[in-house]
Amino acid sequence: MYKLKYSKRHPHIFQYKAKSDVMWGYRLSYYDELHNRHEKQKRGFESENDANRAMLADQAKLASNDVNIVKNQNITVQQYIKIYMDNHKNNIKKSTISSYWNVFNKHIIPAIGDIKLSNLNKINYTNKLINPMVEKGYLRNTILNCHHRMMTIMYDAVDNEFIERNKLSRVQIPDTGKTKKRIMTKDELKQFNAQVERESILTQVIMYTLEQTGMRRGELCGLQWRDIDFDDLSISINRTRDFNGVRDPKTKDSKRTIRISQKLASLLKKYRLKVSQQFIQKGLKFNEKTFVIQSEFLNPLVNSVISLRLRRTLKRAGLDYLVGHFTPHTFRHMYASYLLNSGIPVSEVSASLGHSSPQMTLSIYTERNPDDDVNLADKFNELW
């Protein structure tokens, strides 16, 4: 069956193959007073211009029929977004449509979806959408992406005469400045961990190990199975690994032993069994010198993938406003800050982090906990 090929000049016009000839037609969508969608289609035109002229004539007829034309001044932002997406669904890739709807549903519709398109202006748009996103700490690029999607909607509404002009054309998106890193609140951490439980076992191992040990990303990538003592419930840091290869840890004090929980040890055992079975199935050698963190292709995982998995998990957890503010290294800040604020002696925290002195720990990692009510009961072990 010959697929319809839509015109780049006229969104509603398409060409199709009829026997040995290429013919033209149009598909016109419109909405009644109840905002129900209708569609009119006609084929058999010998040229694109003929099809376009016929479509314009039908548009004029619909515009003169009060029953069949939408009262433009009553259309809300949410309703026009649906109109736009319906009209352009054949001209936009499916992956792009999905990303558009993600922005609309997550940010734009909850904030301004109920506002009439004709009443949307710079003030209510900025107060209801832009400023709250800035206050929540979204990256400027994320805010710009939302704004660009909304500009597309507004200019399309102008072209289709739903509004006279785009009142948002001069809205300025503020520079949010250098991205400030911050640790998670107790509630955010619980929300994050709830999502981690739904992720793959590899993601669970990555997130929980960083979270519960305060080790650096490169140290995690450098772990080998011989570094984990399941009887003693401890992990020894003996090397680091990044795109430059394997080498000794950052400083002599970075070589250290970190205590782990029984829960983390059980997760690592489960992961070890799965990976070892995969190695055997592929005819590969698995031993105590095998790196712990392996990709799905059974190659030692590169550092950048950890960042990608963290960003993806934050978004899935509904914490996408933390993307850019919370990185793999921020786990280290969080580990230190939560334990220090919970009353753990600084000397113990310093040794666990691999610092040369407690003073270094206090100068680098002490950060006010985001929760005002933090006390001894909020120690990390009680959050897991």
Helix, strand, or coil (residue 241)? strand
- Mean pLDDT is lowest, of 100-109, 170-179, 202-211, for 170-179
Mean pLDDT of 149-167: 86
Provide mean pLDDT across the span 269-295: 94
Q: Quick one: CATH architecture of 74-159?
A: Orthogonal Bundle (1.10)
pLDDT digits (tens, 9 = 90+) for 15-29: 988 877 899 998 876
Is pLDDT above 70 for 165? Answer: yes
Q: Where are the domains of the chain?
A: 5-70, 74-159, 186-383
Rounded to an integer, the average pLDDT of 187-200 is 95
Question: Which pLDDT tens digit goes with each residue over 80-136?
Answer: 999 888 888 887 777 778 889 989 999 999 999 999 998 999 999 999 999 998 888
Q: How far, in Å, are 70, 86, 155, 163, 269 from residue 83 at the CA level?
A: 11, 5, 13, 14, 53
268 pLDDT more than 90 = yes
The confidence band for 378, taking pLDDT boundaries of 50, 70 and 90, is very low
- Over residues 234-263, the mean pLDDT reads 86
- Within 10 angstroms of residue 373's Cβ, the number of other Cβ atoms is 8
* Of 39 and 303, more confident: 303
Q: Which residue has the higher pLDDT, 305 or 356?
A: 305
For residue range 311-349, what is the model confidence (pLDDT) as tens digits? 999 999 999 888 878 888 888 888 888 777 777 777 777
pLDDT at residue 243 is higher than 50 = yes
pLDDT band at 360 (very low <50, low <70, confident <90, very high): low
Q: Is residue 365 over pLDDT 60?
A: no
pLDDT value, residue 31: 65
Bridge partners, residue 6, by sequence: 14
Q: What is the DSSP letter of 294?
A: B
pLDDT of residue 377: 29
Averaged over 286-311, what is the pLDDT? 90
Please provide the average confidence, as pLDDT, over all residues in the chain. Answer: 83
Torsional sign, CA 161, 162, 163, 165 = negative
**CATH code given to domain 186-383:** 1.10.443.10
Mean pLDDT of 371-382: 41
Tell me the mean pLDDT in the region 64-93. Answer: 74
**Predicted pLDDT of residue 37:** 62
pLDDT score, position 175: 75
Strand partners, 236: 257
CA 169 to chain centre: 27
Judge contact between 361 and 336, C-beta under 8 A. Answer: yes
For residues 261-266, average pLDDT: 94
- Strand intervals (E) in the chain: 5-6, 13-18, 21-31, 37-45, 228-229, 234-237, 240-242, 245-247, 256-259
What pLDDT score does 34 carry?
A: 56
pLDDT at 384: 45
The pTM of the whole model exceeds 0.75 = no
Q: What is the mean predicted confidence (pLDDT) over 163-175? A: 86
